[in-house]
Every structure is written in structure tokens, then in C-alpha cells.
Amino acid sequence: MNTNGIGVLLVGGGVLGVMVWLLHKLGRALATIAEVLAAAAVVFIALWSAVKLLVWLGKQVFQRWRTSLGVVALVAWWQWLGWLSLTITAGSVGAVLLAWRLLDLVSFDRCCGRFLRAWWLRWFTYARKLPGWLHACGLSISDGTVPVEVTVNLVGRRRKAVSRTAGGTAVQVPKVLGVKSGPSWDEVRVRLVPGQKPEDFDDAARALAVARKVTRCQVRELEPNVVSLDFQRRDLLTAPVDCAELPDLAAVDGVDLRRVFAGRTEYGQDWRLPLTGPGAHMLVAGATGAGKNSVMWCPLMSAASAIRAGTVRVSGIDPKGMELAYGRGIFARYGVTGKEAIEVLDDLLDGLESRKREFAGHTRNVPISTEHPLEVLEFDEIGALTKYTDRKTREAIVERVAILTTQGRALGYTVRGYVQEPTKDTVPVRELFPRRVCLRVTSKTHVGMVLGDGAYERGAWANRIEESAAGVGYIWGEGIREPLRVRAGWVPDETVKALETYVTNGGAQVVDLATRRGPEGVAA
């Protein structure tokens, strides 16, 4: 081989060696870069998962802040003070709550019980069972393209959907947003999944009630994609409530006129109303057959001995000329027509002015006695004379009722009105009645007119009361923050006649308006 060939081989070998060395270095560099990228990917995935976990935990803590704070408090107590202290404190709190519930069920349930019950039902009833009920009632959506196991958000917790269709497709279930629990009803708010509408839940309400093993389930649309499933757990007002029995003829007046028996509440306790004092003026609204007359007669039955003794004197205005006429002897004054109603009101106003002159500067509240009895005006179908009559009569009656409701409480005068249509046009003095009762009404808007803004949203669903539940209604008045469901005591016809006989045999006198007033309508 010549010298040139040897040189070429040496140069080629050197170049090949350099290329091999470069490739080796490049391979090591690429391997290092790959390792770095892989490590970076692992770190990124870990950080991303950690961030998602923190966000999820934050959402759970924010949505369940009461439960989260409770768990944190219990763990901190256990760590710092030990199990013995925690057990003793928990036992003491439990004993106090039990005693509170036994002594005053209503205040316990409003302040504490309903929140504990809602928490328990949310986590141990509706979170566990409602998805299955919804799926069984046809209120789930099958995707059909997603793998069988999909993640569904139920009550803020991530879990695998267990419902499968025949084709092995995924099932989406409405999300539970929250639970509220009252003495008789549970309100479960759920968010609809795409493809559903509120009407779907209306059609399945009966099936949901059967699944929950309750008698009734009602659906309310809160937002376009949010409905409330309201389950009635119990109903203590299904059976009619008996009115109070007439006392013995020899019994003396011992009636507490600030708390006369009127019926039962949804807690199973006595419903009592004041005939005198704050909240005595009362407006009762209800459709025909709703039971307004039960709210009228039952308190009068409870105050029978006071009426017989003369410490309570009842007047009646009865535009129909039927309801109050059946117990006509109970009423000291009685009117049917607009003119007669004005005469009754004028006579009451005369007594009001007389008491003003007698007690002004001596007392702030007139003491009730036989000389100055509590004057109770029962104004049935008040709308018939405050709207559906001539203008002059209407204005005169409204003016007189306004005076009695604004000035009568301290002077021993009480007005109790009853109306079918509770609009402002029908009862212009509606706001002057501090206590109101809403029985079954025909429109949702009537609930707010009677009980005030927000009453329907708080659970006073008077437009949903069945026609067979006469006397059932809601109150939201003096000292009552949440609407309270009640049922007035039923007073049959024979009991009204017995009350009339009981009162008139005691010597109750009818006020003769013709002799007490001159020809010009001025007091004689």
C-alpha cells in the first residue's frame, strides 16, 4: 500500500473515531435530557395532583365548614385535653340538649334540632340513598359513550357511579346541593344534569315519595337547573283537632286571655292565641272551605267562662248572615248589612273614647273586668264590606276598623277579621293586623300578602294544602321567626249551640244599639 492510501485510512479512522465519540457524548446528553424531562413530568404531575387535591379539600371545607370545624375542634380537644375531658363534655352537652328538647321542643327544634337533623339526614340518608332513588325513578342520564366507571359528584364527595345501564354505559345522577329539615318536611336541593328539566321530577314525585317511604313528595323549581325535592316525613295534623270542652256551669272565670286554646301545631303541641295584649288583632285568610270559622269559634269556646262571666264581650259582623247567626246569642252586638256594621263599629268606638277619658293618665293598659270587659269584634268576610259595597260605606268601615286596630289594644279592644281574598285592595288595613293566619289559599302570591315577604320561601306553602284539611294553615307573627303549621280546633254545629246556651244562661246581655244611639247616630 502506498503512502497516500495509508494517509487516507488514518484520516478516515480519525474522523470515524471523532464521530463515534460525538455520538457517544450526544447520546449521553440526550439521555440526561430525557431523564430531566421525565423527572420534570413526574414533578409536574405530582404538583398538579397536589394542587387539585388541595382545591378539592378547600371546596369540601368551604362547603362543609360546619362539619370541618367540628372535626377540627374534636381532634384538637382530643390532642390537648384528652379523651376523658372530651367524653365528659360531650356527655354534658348531650344531657343539656336532651333536657332542652324535653322541656321546650319548639325552641329546641328551631335553634338546634333542625340543624342537627338536617346534617344527619344529608350525610346518612340522602347522600347514600338518593342517587339510587333517582336512578330507580328514571331521573338519571345515561351517556352511552363513556366507560362504565365515571366520577359523579354526590353531596360534594367524589365517588364512582355504581349504576349501569344494560349496555354498560355511564350514568349521571343529579347533584345534591343541600338539605334543610323542618318539623314535618325535608327540603333536598338538587342540581339537574344536562338533558333533564324540572317537569321530569314533577312526573316522578309520587315514585320518589314511595322510595323515601313517605306519604308526600313535592317538587319546587328554584332555578332553571335546580329543584327542591320536599319530603313530608310525618303529619301530626291529618286528623281533626277537638275544641276545648265547655266548663261546668258553676266554674268561675279562670281563662288566660293571652293564651286561649285554638288548636294544635305541627309539633303536636297546643296552639294558643291571645285575645288581648300584643298580637291580639288577627287577620285570617283562606279560600272557601279552608276552615276560617274553626279559627273563629275555637278560641271563643276556650273563653266561654269569661264570656259567661262578662269579662269578655263579643260583637259580630256577618255580611253573609249565616255563620255568626247560628250562635247569635253569644254576640252582644250583631250586624249584617253595611249600615248595621257601621252601627256596631260606632258603638265600639264610643266605648273606646269613654275608656280614654276615664283612664288617661292613670294607666297604660285598661284592666279587664266586668265593668270594663274585653271587647272582641269578630268580623267575618271583611272583604265584602271593605271592597264589595258602595264607596261611602266602604270608606266609613275602613276608617273605623283602622281606629280600633291602632288604638284598641291598650284599651281592651280586639279585632279579628276573616277574608277570602287577602289583597290590599280588598283589605286596605291589612298591615294593621300584627298576627295573621294563612289557611288554604288559591294562589302562591296570597301567602306573601298574608304572612309577608319571604314566607313562602321559608316553607309556608298554604297554596298546597289539601281541600280535605280544613283548618290547617300557617302562622308567622309575634315571636315566630319561621312559619308554623297549625290546625284549628273543629267546632261542630251542636257545640256552637251548646256554647250559646252556656253563655246566655249566664245572663249575657245583648247590647241594644237602637236605644243606645239617637236618631242621628249619636250616642244617647
Q: From the annotation, which residues make up the binding site for ATP?
A: 286-293
Give the DSSP H or E segment for 67. helix 65-103
Binding-site positions read: 286-293
DSSP string, 83-119: HHHHHHHHHHHHHHHHHHHHH-HHHHIIIIIHHHHHH
Q: Would you state the cell numbers that stand for residue 475, as one nine-digit string?
A: 302562622
Q: Would you state the cell numbers that stand for residue 324, as one nine-digit string?
A: 255568626
Q: Would you state the cell numbers that stand for residue 148, as one nine-digit string?
A: 362504565
Rounded alpha-carbon distances, angstroms, from residue 296 to 179, 275, 423, 487, 505: 37, 11, 21, 12, 22
Strand partners, 249: none
Alpha helices for 371-524 (secondary structure H) = 383-386, 391-411, 444-451, 493-504, 513-516
Buried b (16+ CB within 10 A) or exposed e, 408-427: bbebbbbbbbbbbbbbeebb
C-alpha–C-alpha distance, residues 206 and 32, integer Å: 67
C-alpha–C-alpha distance, residues 381 and 422, integer Å: 11
CB 358 within 8 A of CB 395: no
Rounded alpha-carbon distances, angstroms, from residue 73 to 56, 82, 168, 235: 21, 12, 44, 37
Write the CB contacts of 300 (distance below 8 Å, at least 6 apart in sequence). 307, 314, 330, 378, 499
For cell 424531562, the residue is 37
C-alpha–C-alpha distance, residues 295 and 488, integer Å: 5
Instruction: Choose among 71, 74, 70, 72: nearest CA to 82.
Output: 74
Rounded alpha-carbon distances, angstroms, from residue 264 to 150, 175, 261: 50, 37, 9
C-alpha–C-alpha distance, residues 99 and 307, integer Å: 39
CB 262 within 8 A of CB 271: yes
Torsion angle, alpha carbons of 163, 164, 166, 169, to 10: 150
CB 477 within 8 A of CB 279: yes
